[in-house]
Structure 1
Amino acid sequence: MGGLNPPPVLVATRSAHKLREIRGLLADLPVRLLGPADLGLPEHEEEDDLEPFDTFARNALSKAKYFHRRSGLPALADDSGLCVDALGGGPGVRTRRFAPAEWVEHWGRDEANNRWLLDRMSDVADGARGAHYRCAVALTDDLRHEVVEGVVRGRIAGRPSGSGGFGYDPLFVPEGHHRTYAELPAAVKTATSHRAEAIRRARGWIEREVLVTSRTRESNRGGRI
């Protein structure tokens, strides 16, 4: 009977694209993956300050705890970014806010970030353009929390190619491929991405802490006279 009323999990993102991707990756689990808008949670200015830390894991946990406090639901949040070997692991947690403000104003955020990255790597040889995408997924409820990570390795191309994806996808060539994520079919990225790997690792926590807890509560209610 519990399957008729799947337990809810709040996905702590305002991005419709990210929410759709995470729902697809966990579609076989009997949970309701809700976004803040589904709960009528208005966007607050303080949400801009939820990622002040120097690691993806701490930023993801910060977001998960914040949205858990606001909703009372088990919450899942991610923080992810691009780490380039030649830049000492940068832009890292600064991935989204990498390019200077004037570049963003002129070209828009994604194109400015890509142009700025190519500019910073203009003298880097082909054999030294290694990089990886990293994603940390944090999960929390009233009592417990867990953080898992996923990584996909690759390299930075010399020029942007492709019109798919978003962010740095026109420049990132995943290991084992000769085309960028923006050129490859969307299904390839979904199957191999850093977020996909992290979400797969998060399944155990959802099954253990959300589904088992929900079934136990249903069983206890059913046993009452």
Structure 2
Amino acid sequence: MGGLNPPPVLVATRSVHKLREIRDLLADLPVRLLGPVELGLPEREEEEELEPFETFALNALSKAKYFHGRSGLPVLADDSGLCVDALDGGPGVRTRRFAPAEWADRWGRDEANNRWLLERLAGVAEGDRDAHYRCAVALTDDLRHEVVEGVARGRIVRASRGEGGFGYDPLFVPAGYDRTYAELPEAVKMETSHRSTALRRARGWIETHVVRSRGGRI
């Protein structure tokens, strides 16, 4: 598939969890999915300012264009987050930086975010804890841009459950299940998650503008 030297695509994330998940979801495509570290791109302070917009789509495209400018490669970037009905769609695009800074310093970002979410929902009844994960995936090679999205619906439980996944997975029960993503087999998340849905929609762009345009085969 695609020869001995498949074309590279930069995945614009410094999260090892997210990079591994994206690689797993696109493992059958004849491309090399590389993180910034593998390309020798040092982290810069300006990267903290790449998500200033109020939509996942614009934030993902912002990251894709930035990392294309630094690498010259086709780029895949995502912006994703948790949207809780009882919080008027929050934390939304503020998902990663939801908890107060002092909480993140004390417990680490993921644990702090989960604790803060539970505190904000402490008085919310079981039937009012609906939420969804949303993911926007942006792709660019400078000449062309595309953004696709995926959604996974579910609800927020009252206490963290499970050891798998990352982020809010210990609190999120996807629709049709009674266990959190952190409790469910990884294969379930790979099939049903917001990121998997968005990446399925991104495959056509990668096949057309990365693989075939560089002489590869699917």
Partners of 2:104 and 2:75 in 1: CA distance: 32
1:5, CA displacement in angstroms?
Answer: 2.2
Q: Which residue of the partner structure matches residue 183 of structure 2?
A: 183
Q: Which residue of the partner structure matches residue 222 of structure 1?
A: none
Amino acid at match of 2:49: D
Q: Which residue of the partner structure matches residue 73 of structure 2?
A: 73
Query: What secondary structure sits across from 1:3 in the alignment?
Result: coil
For 1:100-132, what per-residue CA distance to the aligned partner results, in whole angstroms no more than 9, with x for missing partners? Answer: 122222222212111111111111111111000
1:2, CA displacement in angstroms?
Answer: 5.8
Query: What secondary structure sits across from 2:197 in the alignment?
Result: helix
Q: Which residue of the partner structure matches residue 193 of structure 2?
A: 193
Amino acid at match of 2:160: P
Amino acid at match of 1:71: S
1:64, CA displacement in angstroms?
Answer: 0.4
1:142, CA displacement in angstroms?
Answer: 2.4
Query: What secondary structure sits across from 1:10 in the alignment?
Result: strand
Tell whether the 8 Å contact from 2:2 to 2:211 is kept in structure 1 after alignment. Answer: no
Q: Which residue of the partner structure matches residue 28 of structure 1?
A: 28
Q: Which residue of the partner structure matches residue 95 of structure 2?
A: 95
Q: Which residue of the partner structure matches residue 215 of structure 1?
A: 215
Aligned residues: 217
TM-score by length of 2: 0.95
* Greater Cα offset, 45-54 or 14-23: 14-23
Query: What secondary structure sits across from 1:94 in the alignment?
Result: helix
For 1:31-50, what per-residue CA distance to the aligned partner results, in whole angstroms no more than 9, with x for missing partners? Answer: 11111122111111111111
Q: Which residue of the partner structure matches residue 169 of structure 1?
A: 169
**Aligned-pair RMSD on alpha carbons?**
1.6
Amino acid at match of 2:212: V
Q: For residues 149-164 of structure 1, what are the structure 2 equivalents within 5 Å?
A: 149-164=149-164
Partners of 2:2 and 2:163 in 1: CA distance: 43
Amino acid at match of 1:42: P
Partners of 2:49 and 2:35 in 1: CA distance: 19
For 1:5-42, what per-residue CA distance to the aligned partner results, in whole angstroms no more than 9, with x for missing partners? Answer: 21111111112221111111111111111111221111
1:72, CA displacement in angstroms?
Answer: 0.6
Unaligned runs of 5+ in 1: 219-225
Q: Which residue of the partner structure matches residue 16 of structure 2?
A: 16
Moved over 4 A (4+): none
- Whether 2:7 is the aligned partner of 1:7: answer yes
Q: Which residue of the partner structure matches residue 206 of structure 2?
A: 206
TM-score by length of 1: 0.92
Partners of 1:149 and 1:193 in 2: CA distance: 11
Instruction: Indicate the structure whose relative CO is greater, using CA pairs within 8 Å and at least 6 residues apart.
Output: 2
Unaligned runs of 5+ in 2: none
Partners of 1:12 and 1:107 in 2: CA distance: 26
Identity of aligned residues (%): 78
